[in-house]
Amino acid sequence: MLTIATIPKPFRGHIGVIQRNAIQSWTLLRPKPQILLFADEQGTSEIARDLNLSYFPNVTRNEFGTPLLSDVMALLADHATNDLLCYINADILLTVDFTRAVAAIHQKLARFLIVSSRINVDLSEPINFDADWETDLRRNVLPRGVLASHTYIDVFVFPKGIYTKVPHFAIGRPWFDHWFIRTARKARLPIVDLTPSSPIIHQNHDYGHVMGGWMGFGVAEKPSKTLNFMEKFFMTTP
């Protein structure tokens, strides 16, 4: 049903742990998605081999070495085996609630953009995916989660053919994510926000990859709002 594309950072230290957590959570979705990794960073080929994923090391970058959205989207369109595409940041955990919601929308709409706000959580260790990890996440991690500002969008789901003319945005820098929404609005496409039913889960990390850290994004602090997510979003288990 779904082809997922991401651009991991190097798999070392804490960021390596949470990226492996995220990507492994995608492999457990049902129906199982096609997963494409676009990067030549340290450890990417190893995780692609370990999890039997498709790996594309040659991505066009800007003068600072940052991958460009235009090339990633072109490669995604060329190599996706499904008509429904997902671009997602490599630190986002996905649960069965996400694919259920996407499938329900896909049944009702032919053209659309799906987005969702994220719950920020602190995870420092590898997730034990052999156990009932989603139940453990709901009970022990999400109650301490923080809902990020609506300006932080880390997942975009859309049918193939929606985004054909893509600017050379630097991935992970300001405005590339807002461009997805602006373009869909200009095309008068329905934009579906999954936040009330299945918000995505972001594993917190530092921003050492951006000059100036958070200030490099043009914000003075991390905007967020604390909520009781167990009550608000996750009362039922899959």
Per DSSP (E only), the strands in 7-134 are 34-38, 54-56, 84-88, 92-93, 113-115, 118-121
Check if the beta carbon of residue 94 is closer than 8 Å to that of residue 27: no
**pLDDT digit of tens for each residue in the chain (238 aa)?**
899 999 999 999 999 999 999 999 999 999 999 999 998 899 999 999 999 999 999 999 999 999 999 999 999 999 999 999 999 999 999 999 999 999 999 999 999 999 999 999 999 999 999 889 999 999 999 999 999 988 889 999 999 999 999 999 998 777 788 899 999 999 999 999 999 888 899 999 875 544 444 344 444 344 443 333 333 333 333 3
2-232: which CATH number, 3.90.550.10, 3.40.50.2300, 3.40.50.720, 3.10.450.50? Answer: 3.90.550.10
173: Cα separation from own chain's centroid: 14
Tell me, what's the pLDDT at 82?
97
Peptide bond into 31 cis (omega under 30): yes
Using alpha carbons, list the distances in angstroms from residue 59 to 4, 83, 156, 182, 188: 16, 22, 20, 25, 31
Domain ranges of the chain: 2-232
Distances (CA, A) of 181 to 112, 130, 177: 10, 37, 7
pLDDT value of position 142: 92
Local structure of 147: helix, strand or coil: strand
